């Protein structure tokens, strides 16, 4: 019996009976979240399909009438798959490739475009580098293609938007959840919702997560607290105030090096770092307020403000180069970053008709201010204080003492962005709809490199258009074509510092062409298909060795996507997806020649997840993720092999109050390498493991 199998058996045999006997029966409660489908603790009566989202257009628009690919991960699907982090949630979304993020942040590649900053919370930018938990999230939206009209700078390949759980005025909720996995990690969570009168409601979400996995020396924890208040200020006015506190502490793990053009085999558990130096700590405070007012059925406005403060430290030692048969070379550094974000956004939506043409017009503005204070120090090794060290390759590495010296980099940067946008959704009868929009961004970055005294500033004014044509031969079918454009000022997507080169360069541009079909097969089952092309100019990418940003000229990504989500039969819910993508550099630069394949872009991705309920008490689920081989970086020197991972789950409703859930990941115990940062920082996939959870509702 394998170690993983023993852990699984021990987990089931010891914990399952205890949880089964722990809680008496109470009546089941169901509640509808504001602007979202029902959040159901038991079963999936509403299914995985979601009909509407505001995020793609900032208006209440059915997904079938949005001229772009949008994948929505409902709360029911997230719960069934047993995921607690954003990274794990995106694993089942074709067209999204997970990046390692140097072991201390969310980083993804969307349609061939890598990003650390295209993350949003309730439509507002949440771009600091950290890991995001989902304990207070109602759903996750993946909006693919260029999105500057709605979200501003960046978003060339797409954006990720998390939608928060909202207070309810007519339901009481007292939900608790607990989980324990076969590595020894565990979590507790609470979701409390209480009306405080006819016009006031409060919701409180909190979690504690203790981390563990298959890697030697890995541990950490996450604490999240998120209170929210909702007011009805009369029949036409609503206000929501929300706050989130997040504290994340974990080991910084950058995986294994390469060997002979592939990930180093036989060292999946080995920690290529320092037990004392490799540590990440993030504290985040995010406060937001939203005011909605309806002047009439035809005219409404909303105003949202957000303040976010992030305080982050991470230190890391990692493999600098490919391993030899007997040794590996290491280096390291640490980084301190403090970031403050202020964002104000306002929108006005008018619905009406002129000359027989229906309109839904959006007028909006956004103002943002971002301040980033960043420092970095290099690691030295042993009494000689060398900048690199070579150690013997072993299952447990022996490292000399690691120390961090004085700051080698220190910068202060400020970003100010002012934006205005207009969009019209035209209804030209039963057959044709048109979406036209235009956004102007006035973007200014000033920075001071305190290490060398270089101070500079750059301003850019950019127009971002969007046009979409939707043909509806039937009410439940849409054929669409769209064009959209996004931009990203030079300085990397974190805007930490400008140098003489980046200060003189024009912003990167992304031009997205897409055509597709959306077909609601039934009221609760949706099918989508799309083809797309993204052209990126003034391109930047990570250097294969250093991981620093370098210019690569121009790139093009082409692809085809299929998806189906929803209820197939009364007891069967599914989510299916496939992506075929091909991306390459199309202009030769010093960093890479034309013809190179883009980094972390597998040609084929397939995912499938299905849940079947045999009775109202017993259900099972099985899922699979297939990803073909990919290059770790634009060097195309190291290939990550393709892999197939199979997952499964068992659901048992003990009573109207208690539900038990067992999730088993990597059922076939596949050895795989899902992500990378450089050619020599490659993550190893976890072996067979299980998580037993209980959900309790009073």
β-strands 158-164, 689-697 pairing? unpaired
Q: What is the pLDDT of residue 542?
A: 57
Work out the percent of the chain whose per-residue pLDDT is above 90: 80
Q: What is the pLDDT of residue 698?
A: 86
Q: Angle at the Cα of 608 (from 602 to 613), degrees rounded to 5?
A: 165
- Residue 14: Cβ-neighbour burial (10 angstroms; 0-12, 13-18, 19+): exposed
Q: Give the SS3 label for residue 139.
A: strand
Q: CA 127 to CA 419: how far, in whole Å?
A: 17
Q: Are 608 and 573 in contact (CB under 8 A)?
A: no
What are the Cα distances from residue 419, in Å, to 57, 260, 446?
16, 49, 18
Q: Are 146 and 511 in contact (CB under 8 A)?
A: yes
CATH number for the domain harbouring residue 628: 2.40.170.20
Q: What is the pLDDT of residue 498?
A: 84
Give yes or no for residue 570 having a pLDDT over 60: yes
Sequence-separated (6 or more) residues with CB below 8 Å from residue 270: 216, 256, 394, 395, 396, 397
Tokens representing 228 are: 């929210």
Which tops the pLDDT comparison, 251 or 26?
251
Confidence category of residue 548, pLDDT binned at 50, 70, 90: low
**Which of 94-103, 312-321, 501-510, 536-545 is predicted least confidently?**
536-545
Q: Are 256 and 272 in contact (CB under 8 A)?
A: yes
Give residue-wise pLDDT tens across range 109-128: 999 999 999 999 999 999 99
What are the Cα distances from residue 150, in Å, to 80, 153, 389, 486?
31, 10, 48, 10
- Contacts of 457-462 with CB under 8 Å at 24 or more apart are 457/498, 457/503, 458/489, 458/490, 458/498, 458/502, 458/503, 460/487, 460/489, 460/506, 460/507, 462/148, 462/153, 462/487, 462/507
Tokens representing 454 are: 């270089």
Tell me, rounded to whole angstroms, the distance of Cα 314 from its chain centroid: 20
Q: What is the pLDDT of residue 125?
A: 94
Give residue-wise pLDDT tens across range 378-397: 999 999 999 999 999 999 99
Tokens representing 612 are: 């079947």
Tokens representing 348 are: 């006005």
Q: Average pLDDT of 503-522?
A: 92
Give residue-wise pLDDT tens across range 623-677: 999 999 999 999 999 999 999 999 999 999 999 999 999 999 999 999 999 999 9
Q: What does the DSSP 8-state code read for residue 603?
A: S
Domain count, the chain: 1
Q: How many residues does the chain have?
A: 698
Q: CA 476 to CA 472: how far, in whole Å?
A: 8
Picking from 232, 351, 244, 350, the residue whose alpha carbon sits closest to that of residue 292 is: 232
What are the Cα distances from residue 193, in Å, to 78, 136, 226?
20, 12, 12
Give yes or no for residue 681 having a pLDDT over 60: yes
Q: What is the pLDDT of residue 32?
A: 34
Give yes or no for residue 43 having a pLDDT over 90: no
Q: Average pLDDT of 486-497?
A: 84
Q: What is the pLDDT of residue 50?
A: 80
Q: CA 211 to CA 225: how far, in whole Å?
A: 18
| H helix or E strand, kind and range, residue 620 | strand 618-627
Confidence category of residue 547, pLDDT binned at 50, 70, 90: low
Determine the structural domain holding residue 86 and report its residue range.
Answer: 3-697
Q: What is the pLDDT of residue 588?
A: 73
Q: Average pLDDT of 20-30?
A: 32
Q: CA 313 to CA 283: how far, in whole Å?
A: 9
Sequence-separated (6 or more) residues with CB below 8 Å from residue 134: 78, 83, 84, 85, 86, 89, 140, 162
Q: What is the pLDDT of residue 430?
A: 87
Q: CA 493 to CA 549: how far, in whole Å?
A: 10
Q: What is the pLDDT of residue 550?
A: 63
Q: What is the pLDDT of residue 538?
A: 83
Mean pLDDT of the chain: 90
Give yes or no for residue 171 having a pLDDT over 90: no
Work out the percent of the chain whose per-residue pLDDT is above 70: 91
Sequence-separated (6 or more) residues with CB below 8 Å from residue 198: 169, 232
Q: CA 152 to CA 62: how far, in whole Å?
A: 22
Q: What is the pLDDT of residue 170?
A: 85
Phi and psi at 241, nearest 5°, equal -115, 130
Give residue-wise pLDDT tens across range 236-288: 999 999 999 999 999 999 999 999 999 999 999 999 999 999 999 999 999 99
- Concatenating the DSSP letter of every residue in 326-365 gives SEEEEEEEEEEEEEEEEEEEEEEEEEEEETTEEEEEEEEE
Give yes or no for residue 546 having a pLDDT over 80: no
Picking from 386, 397, 159, the residue whose alpha carbon sits closest to that of residue 271 is: 397
Q: Average pLDDT of 518-523?
A: 93
Q: What does the DSSP 8-state code read for residue 64?
A: G
Tell me, rounded to whole angstroms, the distance of Cα 470 from its chain centroid: 28
Q: Average pLDDT of 347-352?
A: 96
Phi and psi at 117, nearest 5°, equal -125, -10
Q: Average pLDDT of 331-354?
A: 96
Tell whether the torsion through CA atoms of 354, 356, 357 and 361 is positive or negative: positive
Beta bridge partners of 585: 555
Q: What is the pLDDT of residue 115?
A: 92
Give yes or no for residue 204 having a pLDDT over 80: yes
Give residue-wise pLDDT tens across range 136-152: 999 999 999 888 899 99
Q: What is the pLDDT of residue 549?
A: 59
Sequence-separated (6 or more) residues with CB below 8 Å from residue 184: 212
Give residue-wise pLDDT tens across range 549-560: 566 678 999 999
Give yes or no for residue 27 having a pLDDT over 60: no
Tell whether the torsion through CA atoms of 379, 382, 383 and 386 is positive or negative: negative
Q: Are 643 and 662 in contact (CB under 8 A)?
A: no
Q: What is the pLDDT of residue 44?
A: 36
């Amino acid at each position: 019996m394998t170690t993983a199998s023993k852990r699984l058996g021990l987990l089931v045999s010891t914990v399952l009976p205890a949880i089964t006997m722990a809680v008496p029966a109470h009546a089941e409660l169901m509640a509808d979240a504001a602007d979202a489908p029902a959040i159901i603790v038991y079963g999936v009566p509403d299914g995985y399909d979601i009909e509407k989202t505001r995020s793609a257009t900032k208006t209440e628009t059915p997904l079938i009438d949005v001229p772009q690919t949008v994948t929505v991960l409902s709360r029911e699907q997230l719960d069934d798959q047993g995921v607690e982090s954003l990274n794990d949630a995106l694993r089942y979304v074709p067209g999204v490739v997970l990046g390692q993020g140097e072991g201390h942040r969310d980083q993804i590649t969307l349609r061939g475009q890598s990003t650390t900053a295209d993350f949003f919370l309730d439509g507002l930018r949440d771009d600091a580098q950290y890991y995001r938990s989902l304990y207070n999230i109602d759903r996750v939206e993946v909006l693919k293609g260029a999105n500057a009209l709605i979200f501003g700078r960046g978003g060339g390949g797409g954006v990720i938007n998390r939608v928060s759980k909202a207070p309810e005025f007519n339901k009481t909720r007292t939900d608790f959840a607990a989980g324990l996995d076969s590595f020894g990690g565990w979590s507790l969570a609470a979701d409390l919702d209480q009306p405080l009168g006819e016009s006031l409601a409060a919701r409180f979400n909190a979690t504690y997560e203790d981390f563990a996995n298959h890697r030697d020396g890995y541990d950490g924890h996450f604490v999240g607290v998120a209170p929210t208040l909702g007011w009805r200020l009369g029949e036409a006015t609503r206000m929501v105030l929300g706050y989130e506190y997040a504290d994340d502490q974990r080991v910084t793990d950058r995986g294994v090096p390469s060997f002979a053009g592939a990930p180093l085999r036989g060292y999946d558990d080995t920690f290529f770092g320092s037990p004392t130096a490799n540590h990440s700590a993030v504290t985040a405070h995010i406060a937001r307020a939203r005011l909605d007012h309806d002047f009439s059925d035809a005219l409404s406005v909303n105003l949202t403000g957000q303040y976010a403060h992030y305080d982050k430290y991470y230190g890391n030692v990692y493999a600098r180069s490919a391993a030899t048969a007997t040794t590996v070379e290491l280096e390291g550094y640490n980084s301190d970053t403090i970031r403050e974000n202020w964002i104000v956004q306002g929108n006005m939506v008018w619905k009406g008709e002129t000359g027989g043409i229906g309109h839904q017009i959006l007028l909006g503005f956004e103002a943002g201010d971002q301040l980033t204070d960043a420092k970095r120090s290099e690691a030295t090794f042993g009494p000689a204080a060398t900048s690199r060290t070579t150690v013997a390759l072993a299952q447990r590495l022996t490292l000399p003492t690691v120390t961090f010296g004085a700051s080698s980099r220190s910068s202060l940067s400020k970003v100010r962005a002012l934006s205005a946008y207009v969009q019209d959704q035209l209804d030209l009868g039963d057959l044709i709809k048109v979406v036209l929009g235009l956004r102007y961004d006035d973007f200014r970055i000033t920075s001071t490199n305190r290490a060398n005294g270089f101070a500079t500033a750059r301003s850019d004014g950019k127009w971002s258009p969007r046009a979409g044509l939707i043909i509806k031969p039937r009410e439940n079918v849409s054929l669409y074509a769209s064009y959209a454009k996004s931009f990203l000022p030079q300085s990397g997507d974190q805007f930490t510092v400008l140098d003489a080169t980046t200060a003189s360069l024009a912003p990167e541009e992304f031009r997205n062409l897409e055509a597709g079909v959306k077909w609601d097969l039934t009221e609760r089952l949706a099918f989508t298909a799309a083809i797309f092309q993204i052209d990126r100019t003034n391109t930047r990418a990570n250097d294969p060795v250093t991981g620093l940003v370098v210019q690569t000229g121009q790139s093009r990504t082409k692809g085809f996507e299929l998806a189906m989500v929803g209820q197939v039969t009364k007891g069967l819910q599914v989510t299916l997806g496939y992506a075929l993508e091909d991306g390459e550099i199309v202009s030769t630069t010093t960093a890479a020649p034309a013809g190179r394949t883009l980094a972390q872009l597998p040609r084929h991705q397939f995912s499938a997840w299905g849940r079947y309920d045999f009775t109202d008490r017993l259900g099972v689920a099985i899922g699979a993720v297939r990803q073909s081989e990919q290059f770790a970086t634009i060097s195309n020197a190291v290939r990550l092999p393709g892999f197939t991972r199979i997952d499964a789950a068992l659901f048992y409703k003990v009573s109207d109050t208690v539900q038990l859930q067992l999730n088993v990941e990597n059922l076939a115990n596949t050895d795989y390498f899902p992500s990378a940062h450089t050619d020599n920082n490659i993550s190893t996939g976890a072996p067979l493991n299980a998580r037993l959870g209980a959900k309790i509702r009073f």
